[in-house]
C-alpha cells in the first residue's frame, strides 16, 4: 500500500521534473513512510511513496520490465500475483524482484490495455509505455484505492490524493457547488467528480489511456452486473450455494493473508468482521491479532459481541475506547485526510484505531467491509422490500407495521411511532418503478442540509433534480434486474464508492500507514453473490441468509444469527462539552466566518448551531447537516484559505 503521483506533458529538465515530483509525493508521506522512488522519461514523471508490505528488500517502485521501456507505480496489492507470475514466466518473462508490482508491467507486455482484467486486487495504477509515449491510469473494480487526475498548465497530473495535486497547482483549490450538493445528498460526490472544481476521480473499474498526441480514452473494464429475472440458477438449493460460497470466501481471505509484515483484523462484533476473523483461521492463519472500537454509549457500543468472538477464537485483542471528546478533537485531522465534506463522524474512530494498530506494530488489517452491499445486509434493503409490499396495497393498515421490525439499534428510531414511520417511509411511493426507489427516504433526509447553503448557491440548484440526475448515470440493463439488484447497484455506486470506501476505508487507515484489505469485495465474491436469487439473500426479514448458512459451524450461533447493527459513532454531540462548543467549532461556525467563506447562510447555520448546542438535534437530518457544514468549513480552512494565503 502506497501513494502515487505524477504527470504527463511537455519535457523539461530532469532535475526540474524530479523537483516537481518531490513536491507532490512528499504530501503523501503518511501513505508511504518507507521511502520514495522516481522515474522521468521525456515529458512523463512517476513518483511513489512506499509502504513496504511485500518483497521488502527489492520491491521498491517505480518498477520496469526487462527492456526498461515500460514503467509503473501503483498503490495497492495484487492478490493473485503469484499465479500470474508463474503464467508469465512460462511465457518467457523474466522477473527481477519478488514483488506483486512487477507482474503489472509484464501483463501489459502480454495483454496490452486488457492487463487490468487479469488482476485480483485493490489498486490505483499509473503505467508509462516509453516506446509508445502513452500513459495509462487504472483503478480497481470497487474503488478501494483512490486516484485523481486533472489537466492544468499544459500537463495532465495524477495522484492518490488531491493534496498532492494542490501542492503544484494551488489554483485548483476551488470547491464545486454542484459536487457539494451531491455530497449533501448522496453522502459523497459521485464519480468521476470530486468536490474540487475540475479535479476528476477515475471511476472504479475504469482505465484511462492518454496517447502521445494527447487523446484520452476512458474504458470501463468491469461493473456490478445482475442477471435478468428468469435466468437459470447455477445452484439447485441455497445449501449448495452456501457450500460453494464458503469455499470462495476462504480463498478470498487466503489470498489476502499474503504479506511480509504482521497482519491483524478489525473485529466489530457483527457477522461480517467475525466471519473474516474465523475465515482467517480456516485459511491457515495460526494466530490472529484483532482490534476493535468501544463507545461509552450503549447505542453505538458492541463490546459484548466483540469479547464473545475473542473468547470463541482465542484472539490476542486490543480495544480502543473512543469518547465523544476524542472524536471532536480528532475531527479536523480526519477531514484533512478525507479532503471532502462528510455527513458522519464514523471515520474518526477508525482513524484513531489505525493509530493504535500502527503503534502495536501492525501494517495490514483485514475487515468485513462490503458484505452488506454484496449480500443485502442493510435495513435499507429490507425497508425497500416492505415499502414495495405496502405500495401494492397503499391503504393497508397492517403492511406498514412491518417497518417496526427495522432499525432496532437506534435510540431515536424512525419506526418508534407508527404514524411517524408511515409518514417518513411513505415518501417517494410514486417512484415505485424507478431504480432509485429504495434510496428516496435517505436522500430526502440528507438533502435537508441543502437548506443551509447560501441563497445564491441554493438558487443555482433550483432546477437540479437529484433523482433524475442520478438515474441518467445508471446502465440501461438495470431496468431488467430484480428490485433488490437495483437497490444493491445504487448502494454500491453511492454509499459504498462515494462514502464508505474513501471516508471509512482508505483515508482513516492510510492516515497512519495502515493497509486495509476487504475479502468481501473480491470481484469473484461479488459476481457470485450477484448471481444469487434475491430471496436467498433476504429471506423474509432475515438479511444475508445465504452468507449466514455459509458460516454455519464457524461462528457462535448468537453472532451468526444476530441482526445487523451498522457501525456508527456519536455525531454532533461530539462537538460540545456541557453545552459549550469546542474552540474550533465556535470559530468556524461563527456568523462572521460563515459569511466570509460564502458557502452557507449564516443565520440558518446559527439556528442549527443553537439547536445542537442545547441537545435538541436528535434526528438524522439535523445531525448530518451539522457534520456536513462543519466538515465543509474545515475543507475551506485547510485547502482554500491556506492555498490563497
Q: Phi/psi at 266 (nearest 5 deg)?
A: -85, 140
Residues 6+ apart with CB under 8 A from 598: 454
Distance between CA atoms of residues 21 and 311, nearest Å: 49
Question: Does an H or E element contain 289, and which?
Answer: strand 289-295
Question: Torsion angle, CA of 131/137/138/142, rounded to 10 degrees?
Answer: 180
CA-atom Rg of the chain in angstroms: 24
C-alpha cell at 428: 417517494
252 in Cβ contact with 374 (< 8 Å) = no
48, 222, 317, 544, 558 from 308: Cα distances, Å: 42, 39, 12, 21, 9
Residues 6+ apart with CB under 8 A from 403: 383, 386, 415, 421, 422, 425
The contacts found for 214-218 with CB under 8 angstroms, 24 or more apart, are none
Q: Helix (H, G, I), strand (E, B), or coil: what is residue 324? A: helix
Helix orientation angle between 379-391 and 483-491, rounded to the nearest 10 degrees: 140
> SS3 sequence, 13-61?
CHHHHHHHHHHHHHHHCCCCCCCEEEEEECCEEEEEEECCCCCCCCCCC
C-alpha cell at 236: 439447485
Q: Phi/psi at 375 (nearest 5 deg)?
A: -115, 10
579, 586, 617, 635 from 607: Cα distances, Å: 15, 13, 11, 22
Q: Helix (H, G, I), strand (E, B), or coil: what is residue 542? A: strand
Cα angle 119-86-145, degrees, rounded to a multiple of 5: 20
Residues 6+ apart with CB under 8 A from 175: 195, 196, 197, 599, 632, 635, 636, 640
Hey, which bits of 470-520 come out as E strands? 515-517
Distance between CA atoms of residues 50 and 36, nearest Å: 6
Q: Helix (H, G, I), strand (E, B), or coil: what is residue 106? A: helix
HSE-up of 113 (CA within 13 Å, CB side)?
18
Q: Phi/psi at 561 (nearest 5 deg)?
A: -105, 5
Distance between CA atoms of residues 398 and 402, nearest Å: 8
Distance between CA atoms of residues 339 and 7, nearest Å: 21
Candidates 2, 142, 315, 612; catalytic one: 2
Q: Does residue 2 carry a catalytic annotation? A: yes
Residues annotated as part of the active site: 2
Amino acid at each position: 500500500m502506497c501513494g502515487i503521483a505524477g504527470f504527463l506533458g511537455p519535457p523539461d529538465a530532469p532535475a526540474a521534473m524530479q523537483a516537481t515530483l518531490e513536491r507532490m509525493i512528499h504530501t503523501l508521506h503518511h501513505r508511504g513512510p518507507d521511502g520514495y522512488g522516481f522515474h522521468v522519461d521525456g515529458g512523463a514523471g512517476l513518483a511513489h511513496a512506499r509502504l513496504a508490505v511485500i518483497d521488502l528488500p527489492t520491491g521498491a517502485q517505480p518498477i520496469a520490465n526487462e527492456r526498461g521501456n515500460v514503467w509503473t507505480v501503483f498503490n495497492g496489492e495484487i492478490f493473485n500475483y503469484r499465479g500470474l507470475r508463474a503464467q508469465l514466466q512460462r511465457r518467457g518473462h523474466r522477473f527481477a524482484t519478488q514483488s506483486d508490482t512487477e507482474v503489472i508491467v509484464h501483463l501489459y507486455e502480454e495483454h496490452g490495455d486488457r492487463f487490468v482484467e487479469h488482476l485480483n486486487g485493490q489498486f490505483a495504477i499509473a503505467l508509462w509505455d516509453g516506446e509508445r509515449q502513452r500513459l495509462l491510469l487504472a483503478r480497481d473494480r470497487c474503488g478501494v484505492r483512490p486516484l485523481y487526475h486533472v489537466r492544468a498548465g499544459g500537463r495532465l497530473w495524477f495522484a492518490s490524493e488531491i493534496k498532492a495535486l494542490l501542492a503544484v497547482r494551488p489554483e485548483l483549490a476551488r470547491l464545486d457547488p454542484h459536487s457539494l450538493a451531491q455530497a449533501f445528498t448522496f453522502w459523497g460526490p459521485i464519480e468521476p467528480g470530486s468536490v474540487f472544481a475540475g479535479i476528476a476521480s477515475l471511476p472504479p473499474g475504469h482505465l484511462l489511456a492518454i496517447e502521445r498526441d494527447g487523446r484520452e480514452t476512458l474504458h470501463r473494464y468491469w461493473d456490478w452486473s445482475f442477471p435478468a429475472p428468469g435466468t437459470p440458477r447455477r445452484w439447485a438449493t441455497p445449501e449448495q450455494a452456501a457450500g460453494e460460497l464458503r469455499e470462495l470466501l476462504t480463498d478470498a481471505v487466503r489470498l489476502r493473508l499474503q504479506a511480509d509484515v504482521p497482519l491483524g483484523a478489525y473485529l466489530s462484533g457483527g457477522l461480517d468482521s467475525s466471519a473474516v476473523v474465523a475465515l482467517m483461521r480456516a485459511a491457515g492463519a495460526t494466530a490472529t491479532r484483532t482490534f476493535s472500537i468501544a463507545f461509552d454509549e450503549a447505542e453505538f457500543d458492541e463490546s459484548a459481541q466483540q469479547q464473545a468472538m475473542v473468547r470463541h477464537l482465542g484472539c490476542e485483542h486490543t480495544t480502543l475506547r473512543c469518547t465523544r471528546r476524542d472524536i471532536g478533537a480528532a475531527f479536523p485531522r480526519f477531514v484533512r485526510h478525507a479532503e471532502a465534506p462528510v455527513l458522519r463522524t464514523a471515520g474518526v474512530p477508525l482513524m484513531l484505531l489505525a493509530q493504535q494498530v500502527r503503534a502495536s506494530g501492525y501494517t495490514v488489517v483485514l475487515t468485513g467491509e462490503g458484505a452488506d452491499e454484496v449480500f443485502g445486509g442493510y435495513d435499507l434493503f429490507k425497508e425497500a422490500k416492505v415499502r414495495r409490499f405496502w405500495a401494492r396495497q397503499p391503504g393497508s393498515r397492517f403492511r406498514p407495521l412491518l417497518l417496526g421490525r427495522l432499525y432496532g439499534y437506534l435510540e431515536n428510531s424512525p419506526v418508534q411511532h407508527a404514524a411517524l414511520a408511515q409518514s417518513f417511509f411513505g415518501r417517494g411511493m410514486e417512484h415505485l418503478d424507478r431504480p432509485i426507489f429504495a434510496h428516496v427516504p435517505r436522500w430526502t433526509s440528507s438533502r435537508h442540509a441543502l437548506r443551509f447553503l447560501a441563497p445564491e448557491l441554493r438558487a443555482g440548484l433550483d432546477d437540479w433534480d437529484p433523482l433524475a440526475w442520478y438515474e441518467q448515470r445508471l446502465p440501461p440493463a438495470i431496468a431488467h434486474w430484480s428490485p433488490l439488484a437495483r437497490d444493491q447497484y445504487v448502494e454500491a455506486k453511492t454509499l459504498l464508492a462515494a462514502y464508505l470506501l474513501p471516508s471509512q476505508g482508505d483515508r482513516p487507515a492510510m492516515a497512519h500507514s495502515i493497509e486495509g484489505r476487504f475479502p468481501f469485495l473480491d470481484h469473484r465474491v461479488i459476481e457470485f453473490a450477484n448471481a444469487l436469487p434475491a430471496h436467498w439473500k433476504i429471506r423474509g426479514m432475515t438479511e444475508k441468509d445465504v452468507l449466514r448458512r455459509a458460516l454455519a459451524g464457524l461462528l457462535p450461533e448468537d453472532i451468526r444469527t444476530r441482526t445487523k447493527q451498522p457501525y456508527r459513532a456519536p455525531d454532533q454531540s461530539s462537538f460540545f462539552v456541557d453545552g459549550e462548543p469546542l474552540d474550533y467549532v465556535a470559530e468556524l461556525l461563527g456568523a462572521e466566518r460563515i459569511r466570509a467563506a460564502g458557502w452557507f447562510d449564516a443565520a440558518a447555520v446559527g439556528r442549527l448551531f443553537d439547536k445542537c448546542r442545547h441537545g435538541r438535534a436528535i434526528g438524522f437530518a439535523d445531525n448530518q447537516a451539522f457534520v456536513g457544514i462543519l466538515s465543509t468549513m474545515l475543507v475551506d480552512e485547510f485547502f482554500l484559505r491556506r492555498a490563497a494565503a
